[in-house]
Amino acid sequence: MGFSLSPIKSIFYRGLATNPHPLYACAMTLALSFRRSIFQPREISAGNGSPRKVHWVGGRSPVETNQNHAQHGDNNPGKKSSSGYHSLSDIKIGDVNQAYRNFHPLIAPSHLPGWVAPGYFCAIPLAQTNEYRPSAVFGRVKSCYPADGYVQNIHEMELLFPKPGNEPLELNIRQNEIDFESTVPAQSYCARLKIFLSPPEQADFARFEDVYLQYSYMPEFITRYVDLADVNEFNYNDFPDVVVVSSRWFELACEASDGQVCEKLHQLIKWNKTVVNYHPLTLENDVHTLNRELGFKHGFTDLALIEPETPAQTLEFVSRTFDRIFMQGMR
């Protein structure tokens, strides 16, 4: 997977601030106006004038953040048809709701709600037929024709439906199987990516924001330590599975947190999060890599962190890692 460093023409609205902030300034995040999802519960009338919420279809309550999502998986992923795809009739609406809830903390609505492209997550309402199929489906786009575009212009797509503990089911969805008259239209999502950077490094990554979005990742540039300090054993499932930490940010965070950041990164690794260490060659010699600070060394310890030197290398490794984790049955 390669990336061009030349400027590209953006099709997305820019949402990140570009002014640097000190370590404890507010994180630089995208201000988005979120559309209600197909799978979000709505308020309805209880008949006495007071509202109540719709129960989740399938009778399942939302998963608590300290639960192991994999325990809800179905170990029988079903059989493929002669076409090589799984049938939509094999998927229950309860499984769709469960998949969406599992991934909801890890994704953010894309800037273009109906945009479909490989790597994007999508919630798509389905046209109903005499054969059973769920009212909507959720998954990650593997490929589509044309290669990208608004959902109403996509003729066909391959969608990967996540199955906890198993490889995702590969579905084939054609244009006539999508319900374009649904009151809740299709919504696309990008995978959230937390990138902990020092203020000067933000400018380097901000120039690549559009590239990250094109490859289905929503970067959150963070300077303050508190965003990492708040992660604990009860909510770590809501934290992205891949996180980028720069060596310069780590040095500043250690000074501000009395070294607690080191313990927090060890905890993330224990919770099976992949930590990527951004370490550009232009750093001073006294700024050490995370491998050195955390006691890891290639060839000597079971674990050693990858150390990309540019925003493009960082994206390439993040993309390969996320793809691998997803295909192994994450969440």
pTM for the whole thing? 0.74
Above 80 in pLDDT, residue 167?
A: yes
212 by Cβ neighbours in 10 Å (0-12 / 13-18 / 19+) ranks as buried
Domain ranges, ordered by start, for the chain: 43-189, 193-327
pLDDT at 195: 97
In Å, how far are 206, 222, 260 from 226, measured between CA atoms?
22, 10, 11
The better pLDDT of the pair 33, 239 is held by 239
The model's pLDDT over 250-282, given as tens digits with 9 standing for 90+, comes to 999 998 888 789 999 999 999 999 999 999 988
What is the CATH code for 193-327? 3.40.50
| Residue 27: pLDDT over 90 | no
Q: What is the mean pLDDT of residues 233-251?
A: 95
User: To which residue do tokens 């300034």 refer?
Assistant: 25
